[in-house]
Chain A
Amino acid sequence: MPFIPHTEKDTREMLQTIGVNSIDDLFDEIPTELKIDQLEHVPGALSEMEVSRFMKQRAKIDGSPMCFIGAGAYEHHIPTAVWDIATRGEFYSAYTPYQAEASQGTLQVIYEYQTMITQLTGLDISNASLYDGASALAEASLMAVRINRHVKSGRVLLAPGVNPIYEQVASAIAGAQGLTFERLPTDITTGNVDFDLLPKDSDPVAVVLQQPSYIGTLDDVNRLTDWAHANGALMISVVNPISLALLKAPGHWGSEGADVAIGEGQPLGIPMSSGGPYFGFMTCKKKYARQMPGRIVGRTTDLDGNLGYALTLQAREQHIRRSKATSNICTNQGLMVTAATIYMSLLGYEGLVNVAKTCHHNTALLADGLSAIDGVERLFEGPFFHEVALKLDRPISSLLEILANRNILAGLDITSFVGSDALLICATETKTQEDIEVFITAFSEAMASVNTNSA
């Protein structure tokens, strides 16, 4: 019996203590007609040796292709110590730190995490994390409605570069409470906000800008932040934490700073792992602390006057407030935040700067090399961080398939998002100059083997 310690003698004695004859007797309050004899679609048990061999075979099918896809999940070097420590049983198998005295490890890690993420985003307060970046946009939008109570429109305006999946998720989660998500006008040469066409009297509850954008561009964060505030809206920024080593922190956007910053925490030491578990981070100005969703850890003192850590501001949460809570959320991504805190400690600011600059440099090399190929050009003018959209004159799906057969994942097809054949590429610090050259050569050969769209 896997993981069950009972001997036959134990079971016999326990049943005797309870005063029943069999384990089945313990289920005597359940109506008989509801009980089943046997599960039909669960196979028999595998030993650890058997399941290990089996899973390794499954993993081998997927292989380890060279990956140039970004679009919200990024391949970065993860120091071995990060997951060696995060998967120690004391972190891995602990629960939510409700018994603070017996959970000081987890609580202090979260306090240190909150400190680091407020530093990166340039804002005052962080929660203990949310599920992921996409759902964090839903929570930030709902938070904006609570803060901006006099605005009744429920209208959230999204810059053109906000990840379309984030919009779908925010709409699925927050739509039932009357929120609508609309796009601001696009300048088609830059892919960014067209400031000449910004709506008048739109009465938005919040404006959302993603920097760097989903399509890799960098927008005028100061100008849009000031416009949002001039129009009575809360400014929500969606940022990549690695990019914040170089790019202006949301707390310093415009003359007053963004009000809320959110984003996908995955780049900070979390494996790509088919999309999760990741964590969403959220920081805000101090005055909005009581409108934040999710767990928050605070530092306080104990009976002896010594410093200690505890969950705080719990009066916002579902287990106290029930139907009046700021959110139904009751989990943070504790283990992922533990990993991210260890990652940020090992890298430090200087290390993050070097990672960010190397990503930027590698992507520039790749974009230059690919743009030199006939039929390939950059889709947008202007600066980028570590992703670039390319315009191609060949059908993208054929190119991607040819390259995938050569074990290269060449990027993400964003044709449906931008409306013309376009590919989004990303090269992080994990790529060497040789990797990039191999990719450019392979891409060039693939281009040559596919007919142009007009042909």
Chain B
Amino acid sequence: MNSHVKSELIFDKSRNGRRAFAQAPNAVKASKIPSKLMRNDKPRLPEVSEPQTVRHFTRLSQLNFSIDTQFYPLGSCTMKHNPRACNALALLPEFAGRHPLGPISHGQGFMSCMFELQEMLKDVTGMKGVSLTPMAGAQGELAGVAMIKAYHEARGDHERTEIICPDAAHGTNPATAMMCGCQVVEVPTGPEGDIDFDALKLAVGPKTAGIMLTNPSTLGVFERRIKDVADLIHGAGGLLYYDGANLNAILGKVRPGDMDFDVIHMNLHKTFSTPHGGGGPGSGAVGVNDRLLPFMPIPIVGSKQVEGKTLYDWLSEDDLPQSIGRLSGFMGNAGVLLRAYVYMRMLGCDGMKRVSEFATLNANYLSSKLQEAGFELAFPARRASHEFIVTLKHEARSLNLTAMDFAKALLDKNYHAPTTYFPLLVPECLLIEPTETESKETLDNFVTAMIEIATAAKKGVEFKDAPYTMPVRRLDDVKAARQLDLAYQPE
């Protein structure tokens, strides 16, 4: 880490007349476009050389923490190793250069991968149909809730507009329900982390469109009464939505379809290791059971036999007239889907199972070690799934050491912080997800770092001003929001 490197903006390096001359064609004669449609100002883009550009962005990259450079136990985000082969093979020239509207005669290679990806995801989730088109988890959620609504409406059941969400749900769940024109009914969590079943019974009724659940939940524990929940919701005429954020915990072991979920989105950028890329692209494929097959978003890759050979084709409006429609300009984040496909082929059926096994082993080992070291687990009576929660409520009270301080102190020890202050219902929490790709030594060293911070705090060391070794100190968020500076203006 290059600490305290003061980074200039690319605009500071700009000089009139400079540019990367190898990268654009020479000027050609003036255009035939009428002048009233032409621009007559000069946008301020940087004027820099190629070597300057390469150095500038390479140095910026070095200011980031990343999986490739640090342990990154960010709960709910599944920050596992991203294999390089997945990227390289998705960017093979024929795949990278393929136009999305090119004919299927020049797309059978790509489409065969997509078809097989659909089939593998069906198997992994226990669902009957998969559409790959949603571009992120939140768009997968939107597709899922829109399908639930379309299902009820197709049955003339127009009054079902309520979506039930546990209080521990990801913020996207209620925000999605709202975008789909539904109302949100929140249900509380019981003392051991399961949904409060009695409260759920009261929340269910003739207006229930469905419930959105993450299982294992955002609290890092498996919802033990999932079958009862499913029976209750189905009995009331509602459907079950599975938020796939935590699919890594059960991959190859338990399938949402077998838990009686009707629809699921997967975060391919989590479970199937496509890059997080500094916050995207994601990929939020959806899976459905029989009930929702007619409503899937398009396009989908279909296959048929023509003269003894398999021909892959696009399924569109004509094939699925009740579809909720299109969610992207073409077919979603195709290049991300290719990366996920390569990853799944490298894991194979046995590898899938090992993902959840070793993710769970690592989480339980880490939680045992931290508990042994005196940290309080939010749900000590429960088995951790692939992640778990430490609560620092005592440290916050007695040592004035908050979850935020702890997170920043970890940065100085060269660890990315766990997720802080989520789920909202656990005070001063750290949500820790080590993933299966971290070694025992890394986990042991992380425990040591956690102990060192707690020990220092007990001796009176304050971490209110941490971090100290990063390129910047703690930033003034209030100033950022009040005195908006969202684009560079020259002095």
**Given A27-B360, A62-B106, A303-B465; A277-B57 close (CB under 8 Å):** no
Please tell me which stretch of A197-205, A326-334, A370-378 contacts chain B, meaning at least 4 of its Cβ atoms lie within 8 angstroms of it.
Answer: A326-334
Q: A59-B92, A99-B407 are in contact. Are A336 and B281 (CB under 8 A)?
A: yes
Cβ-based interface call for A125 (8 A): yes
Minimum C-beta distance from B352 to chain A (A): 6
- A409 — nearest CB in chain B belongs to which residue? B102
B102 nearest CB across to chain A (Å): 6
Q: In the docked arrangement, what's the CA distance between A358 and B342, Å?
A: 37
B374 at the interface (CB under 8 A from A): no
- With A4-B354, A101-B470, A122-B41 already in contact, the answer to whether A29 and B382 are too (CB < 8 A) is yes
Q: Is A453 part of the contact surface with B, judged by Cβ < 8 Å?
A: no
Please pick, from A3, A36, A325, the residue contacting B436 in the complex, using a CB distance under 8 A: A3
Which of B53, B72, B324, B349 is the one whose CB lies under 8 Å from A38?
Answer: B349
Binds B, one of A78-86, A145-153, A229-237, A442-450: A78-86
Q: In the complex, which residues of chain B have a beta carbon less than 8 angstroms from the beta carbon of A15?
A: 361
Which A residues between 379 and 404 are near B, CB-CB below 8 angstroms?
383, 385, 400-401, 404
B487 and A400 form a contact (CB under 8 A)? no
> Closest CB-CB distance, B204 to chain A, in whole Å?
19
In Å, the complex CA distance between A13 and B140 comes to 40
**Max chain B Cβ within 10 angstroms of own Cβ: one of A41, A248, A274, A300:** A274
Q: Which residues of A contact B484 (CB under 8 A)?
A: 125, 286, 289, 298, 312-313
Q: Is the CB of B20 within 8 A of A79?
A: yes
CB distance from B431 to the nearest CB of A (A): 12
Q: Tell me the B59-97 residues at the A interface (CB within 8 Å).
A: 60-69, 72, 74, 77, 79-83, 85, 87-97
Are B43 and A249 in contact, CB atoms less than 8 angstroms apart? yes
A345 within 8 A of B: yes
A271 interface residue per 8 A CB criterion: yes
Q: Are A135 and B45 in contact (CB under 8 A)?
A: no
Contact call B106/A131, Cβ cutoff below 8 A? no
A28 and chain B: residue at smallest CB distance: B383
Contact A298 B43 (CB under 8 A): no
B477 A300 Cβ-Cβ under 8 A: yes
- Residues on A with C-beta less than 8 A from B7 are 104, 108
Asked if B253 contacts A36 (CB within 8 A), the reply is yes
Cβ of B105 under 8 Å from chain A: yes
Complex contact A248–B38 (CB within 8 A): yes
Asked if B325 is an interface residue, CB under 8 A from chain A, the answer is yes
Shortest CB distance A253–B (Å): 10
Q: Is B181 an interface residue (CB 8 A)?
A: yes
B74 and A3 within 8 A (CB): no
Q: Does B199 contact A (CB under 8 A)?
A: no
Cβ < 8 Å to A, chain B residues 185-235:
221-222, 224, 226-227
CA distance A325 to B275 in the complex (A): 26
Q: Mark A298-339, 1 if CB is under 8 A from B, else 0.
A: 111111101011101111011111111101111111111010
Residue pair B24, A248 in contact (C-beta under 8 Å) = no
> Considering the complex, which residues of chain A in the window 86-108 have a beta carbon less than 8 Å from any beta carbon of chain B?
87-97, 99-106, 108
For this complex, 28 residue pairs linking A to B, each with C-beta atoms less than 8 Å apart, are A30-B253, A59-B94, A75-B97, A87-B87, A90-B64, A90-B69, A95-B278, A101-B470, A101-B472, A103-B63, A114-B486, A116-B46, A120-B45, A125-B486, A131-B281, A135-B135, A274-B100, A277-B336, A278-B329, A298-B485, A308-B472, A323-B178, A329-B138, A342-B53, A345-B45, A351-B19, A358-B28, A360-B31
Give the 5 A-B residue pairs with the shortest CB-CB distance, closest first.
A275-B330, A89-B68, A335-B277, A45-B348, A275-B100
